[in-house]
Amino acid sequence: MTAILIQLQAKRSVKGPEMAERFGVSLRTVYRDLRTLEQAGVPLCGEAGVGYSLAQGYRLPPVMFTREETTALLTAEKLPAVPGRLAAAPGWHGRGRLAA
């Protein structure tokens, strides 16, 4: 979803199929993620045949990470998924859910 939001900030409008191809996901996933962004308060505009865009004037503030935080994020991105890792986390109920 973050990638979709960044893409929307970078372009005037983006079509759903274009986002699906760019991010290697299904069109259904793109639509679901767009709905989630809207529910989180991101003001999206969608127009048939034109695509999706952010409401005029909406911009996310830049995120500033320390060098250590940046290194940790880049390292974590490269780690392989370990089956069962989340099962040991407190509050884990399986099937992708964590208890609030």
pLDDT tens figures, 71-97:
888 887 777 666 655 544 455 455 554
Query: Is residue 28 scored above 90 in pLDDT?
Result: yes
9 pLDDT band (50/70/90 cuts)? confident
Query: Which of 55, 54, 73 is CA-nearest to residue 63?
Result: 73
Domains located in the chain, CATH noted: 1-79 (1.10.10.10)
CB neighbour class for 16 (10 Å; exposed up to 12, middle 13-18, buried from 19)? middle
Q: Are 1 and 8 in contact (CB under 8 A)?
A: no
